[in-house]
Amino acid sequence: MGARDSDAPQRSGTTGSRSAYLTPLADRAIWFKGLLLLYTIASVYTSQTTSFAPLILASLLYMSLNLALPVVPSVFVRMSLSALSALLVLVSVDMVDPRMLLLAPPSLFELAAAAFRHRAVTALVLLAPAAFAAADLTPLYVFAALVTFAYFTLLQTYTDASERYRDEIRRHQSDIDRLARSLEESREWADQLEYTQRLEERSRLSQEIHDKIGHAMTGALIQMEASKRLLTADPEQSARLLQNAIELSKDGIEQIRRVLKSAKPPSEQLGVHRLKLMLDDFAAKHPIRTVLTHKGNLDMITPVQWKVIQDNVKEALTNVLKYSGATAVSVDIRVLNALVRAEVADNGRGAGKIVKGLGIVGMEERTAAVNGTLIVDGSRGFSVTMLMPCAKQADPVATGDQERP
């Protein structure tokens, strides 16, 4: 059913549902009316108590009025058509055949459902004409009225539920559109923030080079110029100035190294950050929760080992999607005394017998390339553990646990 008409009076609760039969759901009720009309025509025709022409005329008028209900936009006009349909049935009872009364219940239900709040009143309205029907027709009319009441009530309940579901879908779609716009705005803001941070970092580096390195290089250049002029007149003073210039140059070079070292992030930060981005992207695209934990001095992990860990984690996540059926994946990285241990585990179905395909073989080869070992276990979920030797000793720092959900 489409949206409610703009010229329809605004109703709420049960009152709103009572006008449902004056809306385009009439196209569902027309089949019931058509079957009831066919039965009535057959019953009147077989009785041979009336001429065929008035019966056909009354039937055509009845169907014309009811076929117009679904296409008329105005509620008032639809109510008028239902009233005319009921009036036509009453006239046909007197002028055509008493059996034409069987066509009354659908039209009476439409009018009563729009006028009264309680369904019991609607049922009484449908049964009222039975008091005026012929004795032999009363049971048949009561049966037709009860069937009409049951069918139209179910149809009304279904239509109201469908309308509520459609309203809920529209609300959800509106929420999705709003969230999509908010997400797009957040992405634009994040891109702008990243660009601003890059500009600020470039400005900071430029200012730091100017303040520290520029002054040292300028001082060294001035002293070298002075040393050149005193080279013949005062060789000793020239040598002292040249030595000072050399010291200033060395200090400037050292400052360059310190600036570049401070600007370059440590390798362990790059490795963990990239791994976290990979897991967050995986969790955003699939209904699987991801957790990243690490312990120990991550600076002892070399860039090559980080690359192996990232590639193997990526391959393990692909296997989780294909075979595991898991709802959660955890990645745990631990730096021990002489080993780097990286484990990818899920809570999926696991495997009693592990068949090594190209994915697992590739992980083994990558791990072996850095003198490591790969352990695969399918007893509790599925886990892949990488053991790699610590390739370097880092500066002593305090270690601790950190979890990144």
Give domain status of residue 308, yes or no. yes
Last residue of a domain, one of 175, 204, 238: 175
pLDDT band at 9 (very low <50, low <70, confident <90, very high): very low
Q: Report pLDDT digits (tens) over 93-105.
A: 888 888 888 888 8
Average pLDDT, the chain: 79
Give yes or no: residues 166 and 283 share one domain.
Answer: no
Which residue carries 């025509």 as its tokens? 41
Two structure tokens written together for 330: 């955890």
Lowest mean pLDDT among 27-41, 253-267, 289-303: 253-267
Name the more confident of 242 and 142.
142
Give the H or E element holding residue 61: helix 52-68
Q: What is the pLDDT of residues 315-336, one digit of tens each?
A: 989 888 888 788 899 999 999 8
Q: What is the pTM of this model?
A: 0.41
Q: Among 219-228, 290-299, 390-399, whose mean pLDDT is lowest? A: 390-399
- 25 and 170 part of one domain: yes
pLDDT digits (tens, 9 = 90+) for 243-291: 887 887 888 777 777 776 666 555 555 678 888 888 888 888 888 899 9
What is the three-class DSSP state of 182?
A: helix
Return the pLDDT at 330.
92
Q: Which domain holds residue 343?
A: 267-404
Long-range contacts of 118-121 (CB under 8 A, 24+ apart): 119/153
Residue 8 is predicted with a pLDDT of 39
Number of domains in the chain: 2
Q: Would you say residue 215 lies in a domain?
A: no
Identify the sign of the CA torsion 260, 266, 269, 270: positive
In a domain? residue 372: yes
Of residues 336, 343, 345, the one with CA closest to residue 389: 336
Q: Identify the domain boundary among 143, 175, 207.
A: 175
CATH code where residue 310 lies: 3.30.565.10
Residue 211 included in any domain: no
